[in-house]
Amino acid sequence: MSEQKAQVKRISAAKTMKKIMAEHFHRVDEASRDPGKKVAWCTSVGPAELLQGFGFEVYYPENHAAMLGATRKATDYIPYANAAGYSPDICSYLTADVGAYLQGYTPLQDAYGIQSVPKPDVLVYNTNQCRDVQDWFMWYGRHWNVPCLGIETHRNVGPVSEAHVDSITRQLQHLAEQLEPIAGHKLDMDLFRQSVGLSRRCSELWEQVLLTGSARPSALTFFDGTIHMGPAVVLRGLPVAVEYYQQLLAELQQRVESGEGAIEGERHRLYWEGMPVWGRLRALGELFLSLRTCVVASTYCNSWIFNQLDPDDPFRSMARAYTELFIVRSDPVKEDYIADMCQRYQVDGIVYHDAKTCPNNTNSRYAMPQRLEQRTGKPYLILSGDLNDLRCWSDEQARTSIEAFVEQLEQG
């Protein structure tokens, strides 16, 4: 292990990202106070493009909950939601977000001077990721007495059939009908198509950004990715996200061309499967850096690639994009995907994050690591932790596990 202190490399596009994210939060905040505008809350892989087609300003609570995690406030607020009946074993996005709300806190105060989360006119979820988002949105729905609508997606899907896509398409069309009276007008098909087209463009660029991780040395780390995916989540469907990823991609391609790695002297390359540990992004980034090990790719960052979106067939292509998602799929499909990623990114091993409160993004509980090790020959490490609840995380044990794993890779 190298004891030399190296610095995490900065990405200069980050400045632009900060700016456009701040504008987003101010826009939604203003809309929530403007009687002429409407705000919709949407899950991170929910039907954002449809909401934009209705002219809603869209706000994403998961992004907010991740901010609570990244600012290490989540663990302070989770207990208040636990006390209100939401178990410490369920989604710590939900519990952190609801707990913070109950205590009158939002990280938007410190970051942007915004006093509270924007009051919605409607809450729209898609259970493609989990049931927790539905429960989470229903809590706010009851609290504010606003409608809570959603798409109930199939789970553990093997091959996606036309029957799957048909049913989700119909649900999306029905959702559009339900949204009409709330928006006060019909869906603007042009706007909807435009949003789907921009979302597709954003997703293609984001994919290109992530692919710079396949270069040797990798141009970016998973930890960079978790920060820079912000616009792909909350600004997709808007021109600003496309512009942003053009800028970021140019910067990273420059790195690739000049052979500059995100990690100086990259020795090992890893794949990260599972949620980030938001409160430890920096610490983990620095630890891997000190070990000259680059986490070059992840399922998580790649989950916001929706290249199926097609402005000429907006409903059906959305249904397909949001059903073909990794998180919705069966283990064999997931394993094919990870095996393919390992090859594409030439990784030496896989790190699974077993997130205590998110079984949906945890894939180490049904012997997948063992199966994939047998199939790919790549060793694995399972880290016990959580996305937001640092009560489930041990710095010491994580560090020892990661260092021991890298020592193992060093045997060659």
Partner 1 sequence: MSFFAGVDVGSSAAKAVVIDDQARELGRGLSPSGADLSGSARRCFAAACRQAGIAEAEVERIVACGFGRDNVDFAHQRRTEIDCHARGAYHHLPRAITVVDIGGQDNKVIRIDENGRRLNFTMNRKCAAGTGAFLEEVALRLKVPLDKLAELAGQATDPSVRIGSFCTVFAMTEILSRIRAGVRVEDLARAALESVARRVLEVQSISGQVVATGGVMAHQPLMREILSQQLQAEVFVPPHAQYVGALGAALVGRR
3-state secondary structure of 114: coil
Q: How far is the CB of 408 from partner 1 (least distance, A)?
A: 5
Please give the structure tokens belonging to residue 104: 């009158």
Our finding on whether 233 is near ligand SF4 (CB under 6 A) is: no
CA 8 and chain centroid, separation: 22
Question: For residue 217, is the peptide bond before it cis, meaning its omega torsion is within 30 degrees of 0?
Answer: yes
224 binds, among ligand SF4, partner 1, none (CB under 5 to 8 A by kind): none
The two beta strands, 268-273 and 380-385, are unpaired
Interface with ligand SF4: number of residues (CB under 6 A): 11
Q: How far apart are CA 171 and CA 126, in angstroms?
A: 10
Our finding on whether 66 is near ligand SF4 (CB under 6 A) is: no
361 binds, among partner 1, ligand SF4, none (CB under 5 to 8 A by kind): ligand SF4
Please give the structure tokens belonging to residue 277: 């540990």
Please choose, out of 165-173, 215-223, 354-362, 372-380, the segment that lies near ligand SF4 by the rule CB under 6 A.
354-362
Specify whether the CB–CB gap between 39 and 56 falls below 8 A. yes
Helix segments in 216-361, DSSP class H: 222-228, 230-234, 239-257, 281-290, 299-302, 314-321, 331-344
382 binds, among partner 1, ligand SF4, none (CB under 5 to 8 A by kind): partner 1
395 binds, among ligand SF4, partner 1, none (CB under 5 to 8 A by kind): none
Q: How far is the CB of 287 from partner 1 (least distance, A)?
A: 13
**Burial, 246: exposed, middle or buried (Cβ in 10 Å; 0-12, 13-18, 19+)?**
middle
Please give the structure tokens belonging to residue 271: 């794949």
The tally of CA atoms less than 13 A away on the side-chain side of residue 390 is 17
Our finding on whether 221 is near ligand SF4 (CB under 6 A) is: no
Helix segments in 212-238, DSSP class H: 222-228, 230-234
132 binds, among ligand SF4, partner 1, none (CB under 5 to 8 A by kind): ligand SF4
411 binds, among ligand SF4, partner 1, none (CB under 5 to 8 A by kind): partner 1
Our finding on whether 123 is near ligand SF4 (CB under 6 A) is: no
Specify the residue, 90 or 133, whose C-beta has the smaller distance to partner 1.
90
> Which of 235, 165, 253 is closest to 198 using CA atoms?
235
Q: How far apart are CA 152 and CA 167, in angstroms?
A: 10
129 binds, among partner 1, ligand SF4, none (CB under 5 to 8 A by kind): ligand SF4
Q: Which of 387, 390, 392, 402 forms a contact with ligand SF4 (CB under 6 A)? A: 387
Please choose, out of 127-135, 149-157, 177-185, 335-343, the segment that lies near ligand SF4 by the rule CB under 6 A.
127-135
Sequence-ordered list of residues with C-beta below 8 angstroms from that of 300, at least 6 positions apart, any chain: 222, 225, 226, 272, 274, 275, 276, 361
End-to-end alpha-carbon separation of the chain, Å? 15
Q: How far is the CB of 324 from partner 1 (least distance, A)?
A: 33
Binding positions for ligand SF4, 77-96, rule CB under 6 A: 91, 93
Q: How far is the CB of 62 from partner 1 (least distance, A)?
A: 26
**Burial, 182: exposed, middle or buried (Cβ in 10 Å; 0-12, 13-18, 19+)?**
middle
Our finding on whether 226 is near ligand SF4 (CB under 6 A) is: no
Site string for ligand SF4, 133-172 (x = CB under 6 A): x---------------------------------------
Q: How far is the CB of 404 from partner 1 (least distance, A)?
A: 4
Specify the residue, 57 or 273, whose C-beta has the smaller distance to partner 1.
273
Question: For residue 311, is the peptide bond before it cis, meaning its omega torsion is within 30 degrees of 0?
Answer: no
Q: How far is the CB of 401 from ligand SF4 (least distance, A)?
A: 22
Our finding on whether 358 is near ligand SF4 (CB under 6 A) is: yes
Please choose, out of 130-138, 177-185, 314-322, 399-407, the segment that lies near ligand SF4 by the rule CB under 6 A.
130-138
| Strand ordering across the sheet containing 380-385 | 293-298, 268-273, 349-355, 380-385
Residues in the chain: 412
For residue 395, give the amino acid letter. Answer: D
Report the interface residues with partner 1, using CB under 8 A. 1, 3, 373, 379-380, 382, 384, 394, 396-397, 400-401, 403-404, 407-408, 411
Q: How far is the CB of 290 from partner 1 (least distance, A)?
A: 11
Residues that bind ligand SF4 (CB under 6 A): 62, 91, 93, 129-130, 132-133, 358, 360-361, 387
